[in-house]
């Protein structure tokens, strides 16, 4: 049988540990390794509400004969467990006829021994996404965090952002083009149990549970932090089944990034990270009263991966066209929660200012502007941006117009104005003129000896 040929016996045990976990067995772990024997896998199953221990012997060999089954049978009988127990032998090869007969007599109830051969493994592999030729478990994921708020519409986040923009009428805003990209993530739960001993006894003990949230796309695994971590780690975040959701009808474009590695690879990666994370240097005093330092790194087998939960996180990107401009607004979503990754709406198109107190829409060109880049159109008294306005100075002050036509119209209006109206086109100038006049009158009066 050509399957799993490249794995060592130990790697096969590790792999089977993952397989059983995926099959829904609980508390799956390996027994302590003894000198001459391989390690057994210990786990539990719940059948009709009753918890039962299962002791598994893994044999990465061509044939498994009766003594192996017999030996496991006695191991199960002596296994210290407060409740019913049974055994299982898993092999990549096949069982001899006597081995089958022996197991057959024991039955498949309490105290029985179940046999899984290479053919059974093939069936299981298909069920759980195990690649039997390289021993890697692929990630099968058909779930995503919900891309939209449960009640608000698809584009509600964009409209919410637009509400902050002055001079913009939402009713007249076109529908944005909204794309959905599913980004793969994993939540890996690991249990670390380690004891570090020296000649003076135990110097350090570890008993830790860690939940790692990992970006699992093609660019390699990366620990998720901050908001994305919170979205994924929230157990109450609503999820959708990707097979059922009619997303193609609801979004303009739907893409799905692949998981960049196999579950087996992520597991190995996570174990190394957790070993690093829990590495500490401890100080202790030896029997000779000398101070020592010891770096305590949990071994690979001190870290056991309890669960790997894959889920896609929807990254929603909207593009809104207003006049001559396109605005992008993007966020990671988890039902009613989201975290913004790009906000092109609270940003001035002219200077990229993102922290302005107000943003104002220029209906003439479609720009969104900070206070420095928005003016008042002289003829119509509406906002106009500095980028598209036509300017001309009247009463020594620059005036802003939507276009030449409005400028021309104002020129005519201006030429018809009374002198005081013209002066009022520049209140500062007018005030200065009044001040100068008062001053001059004062000077004149005093020179005429009136004061
Ligand atoms: Zn600006
Ligand atoms: Zn403009």
Is 9-135 in CATH node 3.40.1350.10? yes
Task: Give the Cα separation of 51 and 63 in Å (integer).
Answer: 31
* Spacing, Cα 167 to ligand 2 middle (Å): 12
373 C-alpha vs ligand 1 centroid, how far in Å?
Answer: 5
Mean local confidence (pLDDT), 192-209: 93
* C-alpha 388 to ligand 2 mean position (Å): 4
Higher-confidence position of 334 and 10: 334
Cα of 376 vs centre of ligand 1, distance in Å, is 15
Least confident span in 37-41, 141-145, 298-302, 410-414: 37-41
pLDDT over 90 at 68, yes or no: yes
**What's residue 13's pLDDT?**
85
Reply yes or no on whether the pLDDT at 136 is more than 80.
no
Whether 197 has a pLDDT exceeding 60, the answer reads yes
Nearest ligand (C-alpha, residue 370): 1
- In percent, the amount of the chain with pLDDT more than 90 equals 63
Q: CA distances (Å), 381 to each of 149, 375, 385, 399, 410, in order?
A: 39, 9, 12, 11, 12
Ligand 2 centre to CA of 173 (Å) is 16
Of all ligands present, the nearest one to the C-alpha of 349 is 1
**Considering only CA atoms, which of 308, 365, 303 is closest in space to residue 137?**
308
Domain ranges of the chain: 9-135, 144-337, 348-416
Q: What is the pLDDT of residue 1?
A: 43
Tell me how far the alpha carbon of residue 441 lies from the centroid of ligand 2, in angstroms.
45
Paired tokens of 437 = 């006049």
Instruction: Say yes or no to pLDDT of 130 above 90.
Output: no
| 373: confidence class by pLDDT, cuts 50, 70, 90 | very high
How confident is the model over 207-240, as pLDDT tens digits? 999 999 999 998 899 999 999 999 999 989 999 9
Report strand pairing: 63-64 vs 397-401: unpaired
pLDDT of res. 128: 83
Percent of the chain scored above 70 by pLDDT? 96
CA of 408 to the centre of ligand 2 (A): 18
- Residue carrying the six token digits 């002055």: 166
CA of 391 to the centre of ligand 1 (A): 18
Q: Are 394 and 379 in contact (CB under 8 A)?
A: no
């Amino acid at each position: 049988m050509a399957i799993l040929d490249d794995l060592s016996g130990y790697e096969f045990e590790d792999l089977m540990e993952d397989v059983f976990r995926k099959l829904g067995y609980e508390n799956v772990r390996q027994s302590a390794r003894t000198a001459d024997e391989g390690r057994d896998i210990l786990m539990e199953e719940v059948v009709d509400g009753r918890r039962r221990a299962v002791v598994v012997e893994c044999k990465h060999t061509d044939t498994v004969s009766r003594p192996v089954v017999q030996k496991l049978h006695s191991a199960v009988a002596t296994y210290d467990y407060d409740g019913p127990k049974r055994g299982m032998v898993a092999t990549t090869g096949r069982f001899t006829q006597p081995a089958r007969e022996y197991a057959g007599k024991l039955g498949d109830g309490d105290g029985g021994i179940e046999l899984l051969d290479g053919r059974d493994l093939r069936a299981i592999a298909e069920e759980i996404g195990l690649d039997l030729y390289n021993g890697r478990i692929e990630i099968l994921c058909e779930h995503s965090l919900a891309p939209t708020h449960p009640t608000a519409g698809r584009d509600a986040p964009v409209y919410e952002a637009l509400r902050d923009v002055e001079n913009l009428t939402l009713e007249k805003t076109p529908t944005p083009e909204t794309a959905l990209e599913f980004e793969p993530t994993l939540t890996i739960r690991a249990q670390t149990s380690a004891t570090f001993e020296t000649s003076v006894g135990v110097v350090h003990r570890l008993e830790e549970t860690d939940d790692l949230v990992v970006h699992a796309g093609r660019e390699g695994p990366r620990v998720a932090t901050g908001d994305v971590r919170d979205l994924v780690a929230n157990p109450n975040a609503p999820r959708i089944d990707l097979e059922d959701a009619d997303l193609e009808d609801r979004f303009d474009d739907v893409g799905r990034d692949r998981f960049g590695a196999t579950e087996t690879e992520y597991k190995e990666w996570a174990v190394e990270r957790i070993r690093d994370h829990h590495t500490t240097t401890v100080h202790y005093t030896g029997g000779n009263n000398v101070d020592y330092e010891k770096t305590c790194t949990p071994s690979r087998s001190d870290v056991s991966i309890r669960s790997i939960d894959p889920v896609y996180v929807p990254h929603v990107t909207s593009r809104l066209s207003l006049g001559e401009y396109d605005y992008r607004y993007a966020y990671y979503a988890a039902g009613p929660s989201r975290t913004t990754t790009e906000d092109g709406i609270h940003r001035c198109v002219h200077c990229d200012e993102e922290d302005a107190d107000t943003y104002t829409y220029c209906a003439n060109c479609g720009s969104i502007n900070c206070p420095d880049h928005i003016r008042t159109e002289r003829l119509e008294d509406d906002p106009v941006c500095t980028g598209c306005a036509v300017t001309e100075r009247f009463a020594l002050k620059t005036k802003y117009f939507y276009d030449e036509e409005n400028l021309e119209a104002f020129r005519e209006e201006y030429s018809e104005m009374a002198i005081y109206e013209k002066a009022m086109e520049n209140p500062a100038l007018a005030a200065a003129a009044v001040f100068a006049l008062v001053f001059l009158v004062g000077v004149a009066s005093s020179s005429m000896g009136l004061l």
